[in-house]
Structure 1
Amino acid sequence: MARMSIVFGVVLIALGLVSYFGTGSQHPTALIPTWFGVALGVFGFLAMSPDESRRKLFMHINVTIGLLGLIGAAWRALSAYGHARSQGVDPDKIALAAQGAMAGLLLVYVLMCVKSFINARRQREL
């Protein structure tokens, strides 16, 4: 799962950079997925350890980062969409797509981590 964390980190970094440059480099908040990706990548790298307790610690940190990112991105996408519609304007499509993509990626990541944690516990119980 540590390698998968690095993969998701790289994808989030790319998403943040694409959205930042897609907005004409005017909105630094478009880089938020990049920072989540950097965190997932760093802790994913640290989780590649033969020591089981160290691996568990860093993977639990990663899934917490993923869950916080998922909640934040989903909340921001929904509230920005609702606010724009209540004002009678179209929402920023690039921002909405980036927030939705980040939420979707992190949802998949968190579900994969939970499944991995369940499988690891079952393996230990055998």
Structure 2
Amino acid sequence: MTKFSIILGIIFILMGLYSYFGISSESVTALIPAFFGVPMLILGWLGLNEKYLKHAMHGAAVLTLLGFAGTVGGLIKFFKMLGGAEMERPAAVTVQAIMAILCLLFLIFAVKSFIDARRNKESNSN
């Protein structure tokens, strides 16, 4: 999960920078993916140390939960846009949808990892 966290952090940073400098530098909100990417990258890096692994990955899971909660509306708008609805800023909707999907994927893998870790711990203690 640490490598996934690091990769996701880098992707979010690149998405934020591309959104701001490549698509629209009108608002600092275009950098929101980067604002999530930096702590995600740091948490992944901290998780490389076994001493901090559990706390770092739980922190990353909480961060992606917040990221998903904040971007799920963009995912809904994205599907409406695919259905033909006009959106004011389609590029922003697309970035939100990508971020929502990536956050959801991380959450699914994190929960699976936490369950597997608990099962391994229980089977090793018996």
User: TM-score, normalised on structure 1?
Assistant: 0.84
Instruction: Write the mapping of 1:18-37 to structure 2, written as runs, cut at 5 A.
Output: 18-37=18-37
User: What does residue 7 of structure 1 align with?
Assistant: 7
Letter of the 2:30 counterpart: A
Q: Are the aligned partners of 2:20 and 2:28 in contact in 1 as well (CA < 8 Å)?
A: yes
Q: Are the aligned partners of 2:75 and 2:96 in contact in 1 as well (CA < 8 Å)?
A: no
Q: CA RMSD in A?
A: 1.9
- The Cα of 1:78 is off from its aligned counterpart by 6.1
Q: Are the aligned partners of 2:24 and 2:30 in contact in 1 as well (CA < 8 Å)?
A: no
Instruction: Write the mapping of 1:10-89 to structure 2, written as runs, cut at 5 A.
Output: 10-51=10-51, 54-75=52-73, 77=74
User: What does residue 108 of structure 1 align with?
Assistant: 105
Q: Are the aligned partners of 1:63 and 1:113 in contact in 2 as well (CA < 8 Å)?
A: yes
- The Cα of 1:24 is off from its aligned counterpart by 3.4
Q: Which runs of 5+ in 2 are unaligned?
A: 79-84
Structure 1 residues 24 and 68: CA distance shift in structure 2, 3 A? closer
CA distance in 1, matches of 2:108, 2:75: 21
**Is 1:98 matched with 2:117?**
no
Q: Which runs of 5+ in 1 are unaligned?
A: 82-87
User: TM-score, normalised on structure 2?
Assistant: 0.84
TM-superposition CA deviations, 1:13-61 (whole Å, max 9, x none): 111111112333222101000010111000111111122xx21111111
Determine what percentage of the aligned residue pairs are the same residue.
38
- The Cα of 1:79 is off from its aligned counterpart by 8.1
Q: Are the aligned partners of 1:3 and 1:44 in contact in 2 as well (CA < 8 Å)?
A: yes
